[in-house]
Structure 1
C-alpha cells in the first residue's frame, strides 16, 4: 500500500534520519509529516503578509505615498520589532496555562489580518498626519498580535516535531518566503514608478491580510497533543522568573548574548539601503530590487541553513555572524572606491548577501532555543529571550543611530565588530542539536 501523499512529500523535502519520534506523544509522532507540511505552509503564508508590512521598505514608501510627515518613519521599526518582542514575558504565564497552544498562533494570525485590513482602510481614506497616526496605530495592533504568534510558533514547533527536523522546517519556510518575496518584488517592478498612488498600496495590504487568514486556517489543522501546563504562575512571578533565568542559567544567558551580537545582519541592511538612495533610485522600482534580493536569499539559502542548523545550530550561528561581518567590512571598503561606490548593482548585491547571512542567523537561533529546553522551560526560554531582545534592539538601534550621525559607514563597522565578537561568544554555547554533544 502506497504511503499517504503527505508522507511522500515530507520524505522528499525533509531528512529525518536524526529525528527521534519517540520524544513525542504517539498521536503526534504519527502526524510528523502532516505537521511538517502545515507549519511550512502556514509560515510561508505569514511571510507573505510580513512582506507587505515590512517597516524597513514597504511601510516607509507607504508613509511617503500618503504624505505623512517624515518623523513617523523613525517609529516604524521600533514599534513593529520591539512591540512584538517585549510583551512576551508577560504573555508567557497565560500561554503556560494552556495544554494546547496552537490556538494562540491562530488567534495572533487573525488579529494581524484585522490590523492589516485596518491599515488598508487608513491608506485608502486618509492623508498626512492622520494617515501617519492611523498606520502607526494599526502597526501597534499588528505588533502585539505578532508577539503572540511569534512566541507560540516556537513552542508548538517543539511540541509537534522532533529534534533533527525543526531546523529544516524553518529553512523550508524561508524558501517559501523567498518565493513570495520574489513574486511581490516583481509585482512592484510592474506597478512601480516614482509616484505610486495610495490605492495601490491599499490593495497590496488587502492581499497581505488575506494571506494571514489562510495561514490561520492551515495552522489550525496541526495535530498537537495536550502537554505540560501550569495554572499557578502570574505576571509578577513570571517577571521574577525571567530575571532568575538570566541570572542563574548560564547557557541560556550566553544564548541571549550571542543572539544580541547576531543583530549585525538585521541592523546593517537599512544602512545599505540608505546609501543606495544617495546614489538615486528611491522610487518603488528601486525598492523592488531589495525586496527581490531578500527573496532570492531565502530561496537559495533557506534549506541549506535549515539542514545545517539540525546538524549544529551553534555552528550555524557562528557562520552567520562571521559572514555578516565579512560582508559589511567588504561593502564599506568598496564604498571608499569611487568606481565601485557608483555601481548601482553594489547595493542590492550587498543586501542579497546580508540577507543570506541573516537567513542563517534567524534559522540557527530559532532552532537553538527550541532544542535548548523542554516543556515549560522551553516556553520560558522563548518568552524571556524575545523580551530581552526587544529591549536590546531598542538600545542597539539607539547606539547605531548615534554612530550613523558620523556616517553610515561608521555604524556598519560598529555592527561588524559586534558580529565578530558573536563568533567567539557562540563558541561557548553547549551543543544541543540532534546527534551532537558537548564532546563533539
Structure 2
C-alpha cells in the first residue's frame, strides 16, 4: 500500500539504521508496526502541539478576554485553571484508564473534547462580552483542561506501548519543531498587522483553527495500531488513587523525580514575568506580542530536534541542561535590570531573552516527558504519570501566589528567586539514575 510504503520511508529517514532495527521495551508484534505508528503519532502530536500554541492560555486567551472587557480578576485564573485542571484529576483518570486494554481512544476523546470546548470559546468571543463572556470562557477552559488530562495520561502510556526506547524523545522533538515552524508564521502575521487591532472575530477564527487541529490530531491518533495491554488494578478510582499516592513513600527514584519536576516549574512560572517586564519598558504591545510569539516558535523549531535526540541518549541530562539555561538566564536578567535597565527599552531585547528561556523550557519539557515514559512500563508507567501530574497540579495552584511577591520585590527579583529554585532542581536531578542506559 502507498501509505504503508510512505510511513516506512519516513520512519527510515527520521531514524538512523541502527535505531530503526531496535525495538526496546515493547512487544514483538508492536515492533512490526512501529513505522506506521511512528508516522501517525508524529502527525497527531504535530497537530496537538500546533493547536496548543494557537490557543495559548498565557498570551492568546488573555488577549481575547481583555478585548471582550472581561474582569481582570478572571483573567488571572486562566493559567492555573488550564494547567491544574488538567493535572489534578489524573489519579482518578489513571484508575479509569488502567481498566482499558486499548487506551488510544481515551486520547482521541480528550482531543475531540478540546476541539469542542475551543469552538465554544470561539463562539463566546464572537457573541458575548464583559463579565458574562469572562465567566463563560473560564467554565469552558475548565472543561478544556479536564479533557487535556485524559489525553495526557493516555498519551504516555500509548507511546510506551507503541514506540521503542531511543526513539520517543526524537518523536516529541520533531513534532514540536514542525509546530514551531507554523507558529512562526502566526508571529510574523502579527508583526505584519502591526498596531492594527485584532478583533474578537479574528480571535474566533483563530480558535476555530485550533479546534480543527485537535480534530485532525484525533483522526490520525485513532489510526494507531495499539495491541491490548495490562488491565491489572482496575477498580474503584478513589481507592486506587489514595493507594497510588504511597508510591512517593516507597519509590525513591520516583519521589526524587517528582520533587525535581516541581522545582523545574520555576522555568514556566518565570515566563509571564519576562513579558510583564517587557511591557513596563515599551508601549508597542501589538508588535511585542508578535515578537514574543515569533521567539517562541523559533525556539521550538530550532531546539526541539536537538532536545529530542539528546533525550533519547539521556533525558536526565536534558532536564539538567534545560534548567541550567533558564536559571542562568534569570540571573543575567536580574543583573541587567540592576546595572543597565535601559536595555529593556529596545523592543527586540526581551523577546531575545525569551527565546533562550523557551529553548531551556523546551529542553525541560522534552526531558521530563521522555524520562517518565522510559523509567517504567505497563500500568506502573500510568501510575507514575497520574500521580506526578496530580501532585504538580496541586503545586501549580499554590504557585498562583508568586505574583503577590511583587508587593515586596521587583519583577526581576521574582525572576531571580525562581532561578534559585531552578538551581536546586538541577542539583537534585543530578542524583537521578539514567533510564536510557543499555540493558
TM-score category, normalised to shorter length: over 0.9
Contact 2:279–2:285 (Cα < 8 Å) also in 1: no
Match of 2:388 in 1: 385
Q: CA deviation at 1:397?
A: 3.0
Match of 1:345 in 2: 348
Match of 2:133 in 1: 131
Match of 2:114 in 1: 112
Distance 2:298 2:60 in 1: 18
Distance 1:346 1:283 in 2: 14
Match of 1:173 in 2: 175
Secondary structure of 2:164 counterpart:
coil
Q: CA deviation at 1:29?
A: 0.7
Match of 1:248 in 2: 250
Q: CA deviation at 1:382?
A: 0.5
Distance 1:192 1:210 in 2: 27
Contact 1:17–1:164 (Cα < 8 Å) also in 2: no
Q: CA deviation at 1:139?
A: 0.8
Secondary structure of 2:227 counterpart:
coil
Unaligned runs of 5+ in 1: none
Task: Report how many aligned residue pairs link the two structures.
Answer: 435
Match of 1:356 in 2: 359
Distance 1:402 1:22 in 2: 47
The CA deviation string for residues 334-374 of structure 1, in whole angstroms up to 9 with x for no partner, is 22213323222221001100000011000000000000111
Secondary structure of 2:433 counterpart:
coil
Match of 2:429 in 1: 426
Equivalent runs, 1:196-207 vs 2, <5 Å = 196-207=198-209
Contact 2:26–2:160 (Cα < 8 Å) also in 1: no
Distance 1:324 1:397 in 2: 20
Q: CA deviation at 1:264?
A: 2.4
1:211 aligns with 2:210: no
Contact 2:312–2:436 (Cα < 8 Å) also in 1: yes
Q: CA deviation at 1:192?
A: 5.0
Distance 1:329 1:9 in 2: 42
Q: CA deviation at 1:243?
A: 1.8
- Higher mean alpha-carbon deviation, 360-369 vs 45-54, is at 45-54
Unaligned runs of 5+ in 2: none
Q: CA deviation at 1:194?
A: 5.2
Equivalent runs, 1:21-420 vs 2, <5 Å = 21=23, 23-191=25-193, 193=195, 195-230=197-232, 232-281=234-283, 283-336=285-338, 337-398=340-401, 400-405=402-407, 406-420=409-423
Contact 1:47–1:180 (Cα < 8 Å) also in 2: no
Q: CA RMSD in A?
A: 1.8
Q: CA deviation at 1:16?
A: 6.5
Distance 2:363 2:25 in 1: 26
Q: CA deviation at 1:186?
A: 2.1
The CA deviation string for residues 158-181 of structure 1, in whole angstroms up to 9 with x for no partner, is 010111001111111210221121
Contact 1:83–1:390 (Cα < 8 Å) also in 2: yes
Contact 2:26–2:164 (Cα < 8 Å) also in 1: yes
The CA deviation string for residues 51-99 of structure 1, in whole angstroms up to 9 with x for no partner, is 2321110011101111111111100001100011111011111100000
Q: CA deviation at 1:215?
A: 0.6
Distance 1:16 1:131 in 2: 54
Distance 1:31 1:315 in 2: 30
